[in-house]
Structure 1
Amino acid sequence: MAYDLTGKIKLIQDAKTFDSGFTKREMVVIVEDGKYPQEINLEFVQEKVTLLDSLRPGQKVTVTFDIRGREYNGRYFNNLQGWKIDAAEDASATGIDEQSPPFPTPSDFGDEDIPF
Structure 2
Amino acid sequence: MANELTISGRIVSVLPLQTGTSKSGHSWQKQEYILDTGGQYPKKVCFSLFGDSITKFPLQVGQDVTVSIDIESREWNNKWYTEVRAWNVTYASQQPQLQAQPPVAQPVPPQPQPAPQPQATGELPF
Paired with 1:83 and 1:48, the residues of 2 have a C-alpha distance of 7
Letter in structure 2 aligned against 1:62: T
Letter in structure 1 aligned against 2:31: R
TM-score normalised by L of structure 1: 0.69
1:1-116 paired onto structure 2 within 5 Å? 1-20=3-22, 21-35=27-41, 37-53=42-58, 55-89=59-93, 90=95, 92=97
Deviation at 1:59, TM superposition (A): 1.2
Deviation at 1:47, TM superposition (A): 1.8
Letter in structure 2 aligned against 1:44: L
* Alignment: residue pair count: 92
Greater C-alpha radius of gyration: 2
| Identity within the alignment, % | 23
Instruction: Pick the structure with more helix per residue.
Output: 1
TM-score normalised by L of structure 2: 0.64
Deviation at 1:19, TM superposition (A): 3.2
Task: Let me know the Cα RMSD of the aligned residues.
Answer: 2.0
Q: Which runs of 4+ in 1 moved over 3 A?
A: none
Where structure 2 has 5 or more consecutive residues not aligned to the other structure, the ranges are: 101-126
Instruction: Tell me the SS of whatever aligns to 1:22.
Output: strand
Contact 2:37–2:44 (CA<8 Å) still a contact in 1? yes
